[in-house]
Every structure is written in structure tokens, then in C-alpha cells.
């Protein structure tokens, strides 16, 4: 049992140190970038934007921000939410 515990702790340390070496995600420089970085990156990686961008238009990004604030409780003001949606549509949206 002790060997299994040591192995588990070793694996957790290795995993944690691997994550510490990840490079930050760079967003496209444009109006609204700061609002996205300040509000979105506190809960998840900004890679999420690039992963979903091929699929989301304005309606889709609006739904995502609404989900993040209403369902997950992200503390985003209505003003920032609109700035974020506009930024995402223009820089990572389809038909933007």
C-alpha cells in the first residue's frame, strides 16, 4: 500500500510540474482582448477559444458566454460580456 501511495504522489508531482511548463496562449490583439483574458482565463485555458472558433458564430459565442455566466457562475459583468462576445465574433467567429 505504501509503494502505491508513493507512486501516486510521484505521478501527481510529475503531472503538476508538466503543467507548469505550458506556454501561455496568445490571443489576437484587438479591442476586447483584455476583457477576454481577465474574465475567461481565470476559469479555463484560452485554448478553448481556438478549439471552438471554427464552429461558433455570434449566436454561438453569445450562448457560450451566457452559459459561462448563468450555468457556471462566471463573474462577468453584462458590459464585459458584450465586449467579450464582440471580440470573439470578430476574431474567432465564423461569419464575423
pLDDT along the chain (96 residues), means of 10: 64 58 79 95 87 87 95 95 96 82
Burial status of residue 10 (CB atoms within 10 A of its CB: 0-12, 13-18, 19 or more)? exposed
**pTM, full prediction:** 0.72
Give me the pLDDT at residue 57, please: 93
Give me the pLDDT at residue 21, please: 59
- Half-sphere exposure in the Cβ direction for 8 (13 Å, CA): 5
In the chain the beta strands, taken as DSSP E runs, fall at none
Would you state the torsion angle of the CA atoms of residues 11, 16, 18, 22, taken in this order, to the nearest 10 degrees? Answer: 160
The domain over range 25-92 is classified in CATH as 3.90.1300.10 = no
Give me the pLDDT at residue 88, please: 94
Amino acid at each position: 500500500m505504501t509503494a502505491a501511495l508513493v507512486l501516486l504522489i510521484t505521478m501527481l508531482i510529475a503531472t503538476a510540474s508538466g503543467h507548469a511548463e505550458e506556454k501561455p496562449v496568445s490571443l489576437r490583439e484587438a479591442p476586447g482582448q483584455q476583457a477576454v483574458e481577465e474574465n475567461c482565463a481565470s476559469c479555463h485555458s484560452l485554448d478553448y477559444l481556438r478549439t471552438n472558433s471554427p464552429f461558433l458564430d455570434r449566436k454561438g459565442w453569445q450562448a457560450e458566454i451566457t452559459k459561462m455566466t448563468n450555468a457556471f457562475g462566471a463573474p462577468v459583468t453584462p458590459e464585459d460580456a458584450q465586449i467579450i462576445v464582440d471580440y470573439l465574433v470578430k476574431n474567432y467567429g465564423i461569419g464575423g
